[in-house]
Amino acid sequence: MNLSVLITPQFRLSEVETLGLLDTLEHLLQEHQTLLFILQEEKRLIVEGKIEGLLSRVNEKEAVMRRIAGLEQERIGMTDRLEGQKQRPSLKTLILHVVPIYRAKLNGLRKKLEVLTTSITEINQMNGILVERVLTQISDLFTLLGHLTSDGETYQGSGKMSKQLMSRTISRG
């Protein structure tokens, strides 16, 4: 079904505005690719337990996300100029309002962004699960350390064996 037949836009983006949208979407695509790479790298660093590298990637990720937010605001600014819209139109709908010769290119970029967004969501969820597992392991280790040091039978707070355990070990030997 051809959506352009169903929607008769009262307003079209000019060629200059369409080129601006095209440029914005190309930058969004690049930033999303960068974000996906960072998330893949984060996953590797989480698995390897490399905290310093992970912190560096987190900072990079935040910078990329700020740039993505800025680009999204640019795109939203374009959609807000469309007249006769009760709600902010989706990118798919916005493409119907552009100069026809650019629709295929814009639609291709939109589809690539959708695929990247899906991949980013999936790897972000995987990274979340990995972080939860690491936190659980850390919590379990703290519980174990607390148990080993609390009763004084095995280790002292300094990490040395308790005198009671040492005397039992020496007397058995």
Domain ranges of the chain: 3-127
Global pTM exceeds 0.75: no
pLDDT at residue 25 is higher than 70 = yes
Q: What is the mean pLDDT of residues 114-139?
A: 93
CATH number for the domain whose boundaries are 3-127: 1.20.58
DSSP 19-58: HHHHHHHHHHHHHHHHHHHHHHHHHHHHHHT-HHHHHHHH
DSSP character for 161?
A: B
More confident position, 140 or 5 = 140
More confident position, 151 or 79 = 79
Length of the chain: 173
Lowest mean pLDDT across 94-98, 124-128, 137-141, 144-148: 144-148
CA dist 11 to 79, 100, 154, Å?
Answer: 11, 13, 78
